[in-house]
Amino acid sequence: MSRAVSRAMRALPLPALLLASLAGCAATDPLTREGAWHPVGANDANLRAMIADPQDLVNGVPSRLADGGMAAAAVARYHAGRVKPLPDSGLAAIAVQGSGSSSGAAAPAAPGQN
């Protein structure tokens, strides 16, 4: 028997053992065991439990709290560049520091300018 054939026969058991050990994974997989929870239809069941009127999922219900006109006016001001400033909460002052940096950190100095 040649040396190459002998080496190939010695290397064969390791992959075969690995393959055989993986073949048994289906028997120990927690999602395939008998009596384990299977998520089939879980989202639909949760929605049915939370919805007071199932017809709301078909037609929808307008919110009494939402004001479409106010939201549309805010979008129009944004597009026109006339955004209203946020009211002062009195909790913390927000100020812009530095320039040209989106993270708020100072921009790095140019080479030779320290």
For 18-75, what is each residue's pLDDT tens digit? Answer: 776 666 666 677 777 778 777 788 888 888 888 888 888 888 788 888 888 988 999 9
Helices (H), the chain: 3-11, 13-23, 25-28, 42-50, 55-59, 68-80
Question: What pLDDT is attached to residue 26?
Answer: 65
Give the model's confidence band at 78: pLDDT under 50 very low, under 70 low, under 90 confident, else very high: very high
- Say whether pLDDT at 6 is over 60: yes
Q: Which residue has the tokens 């055989």?
A: 20
Question: Using an 8 Å Cβ cutoff, are 104 and 95 in contact?
Answer: no
Question: What pLDDT is attached to residue 114?
Answer: 47
Question: What pLDDT is attached to residue 81?
Answer: 94
- Say whether pLDDT at 96 is over 50: yes
Global pTM reads 0.28
- Say whether pLDDT at 80 is over 90: yes
Q: How far apart are CA 61 and CA 12, in angstroms?
A: 66
Residue 21, class by beta-carbon neighbours within 10 Å (0-12 exposed, 13-18 middle, 19+ buried)? exposed
Question: What pLDDT is attached to residue 103?
Answer: 54
Half-sphere exposure of 36 (CA within 13 A, CB side): 10
